[in-house]
Amino acid sequence: MNCVKQYERAIRRRRIVNRAGVIMFVAVMAMAVVLAIKIYIDVIYPIDRDVITHLDFAAKQTSADAIARELELAIKGLSKYHGNPVWIMPTAATDFDYIRNQLEEQYKMALNMSKLSPSDYAYQRYVENAIRTLPQYISNLNTCKKWLIISPQNLATFAILVALMVVAYKLATF
């Protein structure tokens, strides 16, 4: 009789551990979803909304005035980012300060060109060059955005979440 009671207790403990493992697994998955949403809201959305959108609008404009307005807004949005988010072999193309300096030069040029007549050759040439070069800045910022997501802090958090998921799975299938 004593063996049967011990066996029943062991089974009850195992079920409790399994349930705890399932609950832990679900909680870790929920944390991962919340973390992904937080990264999107804190990292991706601001740079898309405040910088890339304005550069995209500027690249589609046909007047120096409109390009200058959009560049001004993009520079303002980019002012909260500094340094290079690429932590493995960074280049100047992904340095926020370098990109901002380049955009400021474009902005100054747009202001100077807006004083000219739209029929002037220099004006037309500037607009063509701006339309051709601004997509490269968008591409560089998209690369920066990826590196902001895979920052060492986010990678460490992800590793901890994976470890917790493994522990929870082991508990659930114990």
Q: Per-domain residue ranges for the chain?
A: 13-172
Please give the pLDDT value at position 170.
82
Q: Would you give the distance in Å from CA 164 to the centre of its chain? A: 25
Q: What does the pLDDT look like over 23-65, one tens digit per residue? A: 888 898 999 899 989 989 998 899 999 999 999 999 999 899 9
Please give the pLDDT value at position 1.
60
Chain length of the chain: 174
Measured CA to CA, the distance from residue 143 to residue 60 in angstroms comes to 21
Please give the pLDDT value at position 122.
92
Q: What does the pLDDT look like over 70-120, one tens digit per residue? A: 999 999 999 999 999 998 888 899 999 999 999 999 999 999 999 999 999
**Average pLDDT across the chain, whole number:** 90
Measured CA to CA, the distance from residue 152 to residue 16 in angstroms comes to 36
Six-digit token string for 81:
């980012």
Please give the pLDDT value at position 34.
93
Please give the pLDDT value at position 48.
92
Which pTM value belongs to this model?
0.79
Reduce the DSSP state of residue 88 to 3 states and report it.
coil
With 80 as the cut, is the pLDDT of residue 131 above it? yes
Please give the pLDDT value at position 174.
72
